[in-house]
A and B are shown apart, each in its own frame.
Chain A
């Protein structure tokens, strides 16, 4: 009995070391690639900005705390100029980082979670359930998800109600997260399912079954760890898509004026008439930030995909 415990502990420790080494190995390979390095570099900068925006530009400026003039061009006082109500664009863009990235992150978590669970269950259980789930995912794959998102947002706002906040995020933003999750899980589910299908037939799953492990246990302990590679690369690409979708939804007017994301800033620029006034400084910083972040995630995602899933290259 004592011996057994030690053995299990040893095995665990060994596994942990192995995993650690793999991660370190993976990180080293990622950093050796140009695209991986650039992607990580850009994301690090934005991550720092997102975590502590106050440190760099002070608190989020409001109409009340704004001190600049209307649509001031960039100057020494305001590096990126000011908007219609005199707010510092630099301040707004840096604070927008946190909101855009947070929505992106949460949306990705929701999407990947939904996609992974549905994918694994569908692939592992099979049969009628698989058929139904896959028809549903087919359905979501062909739907014009963006238009669906536009329609879902007011419905969800109606259901969730009004000015509530969840963990400091306003309901409007939570609704965007849910909408992105609902409309974009299908492709993750597809990828995870096909991997699950091949894993299901493998010997170690059979062994687990013979030992008497339940389906939930097998899915969680045997299938999930083996699809993590797929999920991670997929998640990074999903993140890029989520940031794009959030930006577009906010631009159309589903954002929140009190917690401005980059898309919301561009929406305000548009409705304040910045393009016609030639106020390019209101558009450039949030626009460039979006491009950089999406680019970084795309680079990183494809680099990770290349490293983690060499066989799948180019088959997306």
Chain B
């Protein structure tokens, strides 16, 4: 891969991140709301106190250049400001405690979905028109069309409310003391089961559909036909020729899809009270905690840009045709 290509992609990504930082500033200056609103419905608050609060959040200075300059400087120093709702806790702290639950839920969900979805898709595409293809593709299409929260609410009604197999909220039983780490892990796993099932099922449909069409396309390529003509065994052709080539676009799309997965993340977490970035987003939105929202937006946007960049680089690394 040419270093020029690499350099150009990295510069592009940096420019995009810069634009995101700018957009973030503009958007949040436009949003209605300010920290002193939390206290406006309080009978005995003075104008001085309100002014002091505005000063604490730097809102007493002119938007440009003062607020803007301090925002840019702070952002690049990793300082996302102070939360309105949590009365001045640093946003980085608020975000920090919520990142891991989301990473675990969606990391595991992605892996399960990739394994099952791509396996199903590959097999369905390979045996195109067969029973597995019909049933599997049908299920994939339905799952793909189902919003995460609809899926989640159903799993909740069936497995938590009606059958009582799984707990309904959170990540660990509140107030539980564990005899061993294994006990704790089991408790964690029981809480994780339904949200993880929701996320995995939601993604399986997408990945299976992608992989299926990717395989079908690959099978039509000349070298597969050649391999067939050479009399190589079917299974061998699939594993050695079709799969690796079909994986490439599919894996790339997985990275590109991360932006869309986030929407699902938010709703799935809300349904199950999973203490991650998704529930934090909704909380911050409903309490108009703009600094936190701003931090989330920046975090997610930058992650997506980086994921895309990595996908591009990996693609360029694996596919010699992509070199511009």
Contact = CB atoms under 8 A, between A and B. Distances in A.
Asked if A and B form a direct contact in the complex, defined as CB atoms under 8 angstroms apart, the reply is: yes
Contacts of B146: 287, 290-291, 294
Nearest to A286: B150
Interface in B9-68: 12, 15-16, 19-20, 27-28, 30-32
A313 interface: yes
Contact of A138 (B16, B266, B281, B285): B16
Contact of A147 (B217, B262, B267): B262
B267 A252 contact: yes
A148 B285 CA distance: 12
A291 B304 contact: no
Given A143-B259, A150-B285, A275-B153, A291 B301 contact: no
Contacts of A143: 20, 259, 301, 304
Which 9 pairs show the lowest CB-CB distances between chains A and B? A146-B263, A294-B145, A295-B145, A287-B150, A314-B217, A158-B32, A144-B300, A314-B213, A275-B156
B250 to A, nearest CB: 11
Contact of A287 (B30, B32, B153, B213): B153
A142 B32 contact: no
Interface string B154-196: 1011001110000010000000000000000000000000000
B301 A144 contact: yes
Given A139-B16, A314-B213, A146 B147 contact: no
A253 interface: yes
A229 interface: no
A157 to B, nearest CB: 8
A244 B264 CA distance: 10
Interface residues of A, number: 45
29 contacts: A138-B12, A142-B259, A142-B305, A144-B262, A144-B297, A145-B259, A147-B301, A150-B285, A151-B28, A152-B27, A155-B30, A240-B145, A251-B267, A252-B267, A252-B282, A274-B153, A275-B157, A278-B162, A283-B150, A287-B150, A287-B153, A290-B145, A290-B146, A290-B150, A295-B141, A313-B213, A313-B217, A314-B216, A314-B217
Contact of A155 (B32, B149, B168, B281): B32
B296 A147 contact: yes
Interface residues of B, number: 51
Interface string B291-324: 0010011001100110010000000000000000
Nearest to A316: B213
A248 B149 contact: yes
B142 to A, nearest CB: 6
Contacts of B31: 151, 154-155, 158
Contacts of A244: 147
Contacts of A283: 150, 153-154, 157
Contact of A154 (B32, B217, B296, B305): B32
A298 interface: yes
A147 B300 contact: yes
A145 B263 CA distance: 8
Given A147-B296, A313-B217, A248 B154 contact: no
B297 A147 contact: yes
A266 B293 contact: no
B285 A248 contact: no
A283 B141 CA distance: 20
Contact of B281 (A135, A147, A314): A147
B271 interface: yes
Interface of B: 12, 15-16, 19-20, 27-28, 30-32, 141-142, 144-147, 149-150, 153-154, 156-157, 160-162, 168, 213-214, 216-217, 259-260, 262-263, 266-267, 270-271, 281-282, 285-286, 288, 293, 296-297, 300-301, 304-305, 308
Of the candidates B153, B266, B286, the one having the most CB atoms from chain A within 10 angstroms of its own CB is B153
Query: Chain A interface mostly helix, strand, loop or mixed?
Result: helix
Given A150-B285, A252-B285, A291 B145 contact: yes
Nearest to B151: A287
Contacts of B147: 244, 247-248, 251, 290
A142 B12 CA distance: 12
Contacts of A150: 281, 285, 293
Contacts of A253: 282, 285-286
Given A154-B288, A291-B142, 11 more contacts: A138-B16, A139-B16, A142-B16, A147-B300, A248-B266, A270-B271, A275-B156, A276-B161, A280-B154, A313-B217, A314-B217
Contacts of A270: 149, 153, 270-271
Contacts of A247: 147
Contacts of B216: 314
Contacts of B305: 142
A87 B144 CA distance: 30
Contacts of A103: none
Contacts of A266: 149-150, 153
A299 interface: yes
A155 B267 contact: no
A248 B263 contact: yes
